[in-house]
Amino acid sequence: MKCAGPIDVRDVDESYINIDPIQVGGRLTAEAMKAVIAYGDGYSVCDNCRKPFRLDQIKTPPVDQFHQDLASFLHMDVARVVPGARRGFQAVAGTYVQKGDPVVITALSHYTEVLSVEGNGGILREIPDRDNIITADAAAATIEEVSREFGRPPVLLFLDHFDYQYGNEHEVKEIIRVAHQYDIPVLYNGAYTVGIMPVDGKALGADFVVGSGHKSMAAPAPSGVLATTEERADEVFRTTVTKTDKTSRTFGVKEVEMMGCTLMGVTLIGMMASFPRVRERVDRWDQELINGNLVVEALRSIGGTKIRSEYPRKHTLTRVDTLNSFDKVAQTHKKRGFFFSSALRDRGIAGIIPGATKVWKYNTYGMTRNQAEYLAKSFVEIAEEHGLPVG
């Protein structure tokens, strides 16, 4: 069945249990799906845009209130919606990073953090990991090294609370404390936290909190949030001061790093429509971890399988090593590595890269208990069917 022309109907989440590590937290709520139908047209949230003509000031639909609610949800002072977490990184880097400035990221940072710094001519230095965890001690040592190398401290530090590779938790609060001793502003990357678990930016001491709408806030892509403190808001959300030379035009209260307005239609309305449920669901994170651990334990019961992420798990995104289990089967199976994704597909499970049997990631976020049990049972059944030891 086709949606339009060559575009197939997408039914991954209706026909399968989807365990794609980057998709599960961004699945729309029923409310967002309905709002998206009504607000699909281009500038649909702009019907009632009045002076001063800026997105965060629109009262109908209540975009202005949503911005305040977002800031309060993250325990920050000011928030703006952005087209994806990466655009939040870009806005902060654009504000604080000049050519040749040192910027600290971590050994597990997302590539978009790298690009946002590169785009402004900054020079990156990484905090090394220890067993895939970023510690405050390592951060302090890196800041010291960078300060010696450049003769000044880094101008910015990017920090992922839970990284995208392992779903491991890092010493965020402690690292922020260390960075602040050197007056380094810290960007908290909450792409895998904001919208799925409680985040208190103020308690963590973050200068900036960035979240991803399409990754963790049940919103269409590209969407996200950049929140900050009162102190930093005037810097990162500075307004234009330009007056053009021939026409003497000025541009009111448009914010430079936001390029004026950001999300003008379906992305924003999807975020807004999901928000009441998102605000509730973060308090059910413990239940999500219970479901996740049920699946982790099933995988651990399969001989030769190792959990590469920290254990016990603190996140639903998990990296698993099946080199000595499913990959052994793949070596002699007629479908080679594709046997595994094929066996999962036959059981109504999707989201693992076809052919992957060595080291792979999955995410159980948003499953019902029945679905988590079904997934756990399926992994074990596939192992048993192929003669792998279980127990």
Partner 1 sequence: MFLFTDLRVMLRETAPVHSLDPAGRESAEKILQKIESQVSILREELLQ
Q: Which residues bind partner 1 (CB under 8 A)?
A: 13-17, 27, 29-30, 33-34, 37, 347-349, 368, 370-371, 374
Q: How far apart are CA 324 and CA 334, in angstroms?
A: 18
Q: Is the Cβ of residue 30 or residue 259 nearer to partner 1 in the bound state?
A: 30
* Helix residue spans in the chain (DSSP H): 12-15, 30-38, 63-73, 85-96, 111-118, 136-150, 172-181, 201-204, 213-216, 230-236, 266-281, 285-300, 326-332, 338-346, 369-385
Q: Is the Cβ of residue 78 or residue 196 nearer to partner 1 in the bound state?
A: 196
Secondary structure of residue 108 in the 3-state scheme: coil
Q: Which residues pair with 188 in a beta bridge?
A: 159, 209
- Residue 55: CB atoms within 10 Å: 22
Q: Is the dihedral of CA 332, 334, 338, 344 positive or negative?
A: negative
- Residue 137: CB atoms within 10 Å: 14
Q: Is the Cβ of residue 42 or residue 348 nearer to partner 1 in the bound state?
A: 348
Beta carbons within 8 Å of 196's beta carbon, 6+ residues apart: 25, 216, 281, 282, 285, 288, 316, 365
| Nearest Cα to Cα of residue 89 among 163, 169, 160, 154 | 160
Q: Give min distance, CB of 316 to partner 1, in A.
A: 17
Q: Give min distance, CB of 361 to partner 1, in A.
A: 20
Residue 184 · residue 143 · CB < 8 Å: yes
Q: Give min distance, CB of 371 to partner 1, in A.
A: 7
Q: Give min distance, CB of 370 to partner 1, in A.
A: 8
Q: Is the Cβ of residue 34 or residue 314 nearer to partner 1 in the bound state?
A: 34
Q: Give min distance, CB of 68 to partner 1, in A.
A: 28
| Nearest Cα to Cα of residue 197 among 88, 327, 313 | 313
Q: Is the Cβ of residue 30 or residue 359 nearer to partner 1 in the bound state?
A: 30
Residue 205 · residue 195 · CB < 8 Å: no
Q: Is the Cβ of residue 285 or residue 374 nearer to partner 1 in the bound state?
A: 374
Q: Is the Cβ of residue 1 or residue 241 nearer to partner 1 in the bound state?
A: 1
Q: Give min distance, CB of 339 to partner 1, in A.
A: 19
Q: Give min distance, CB of 299 to partner 1, in A.
A: 19
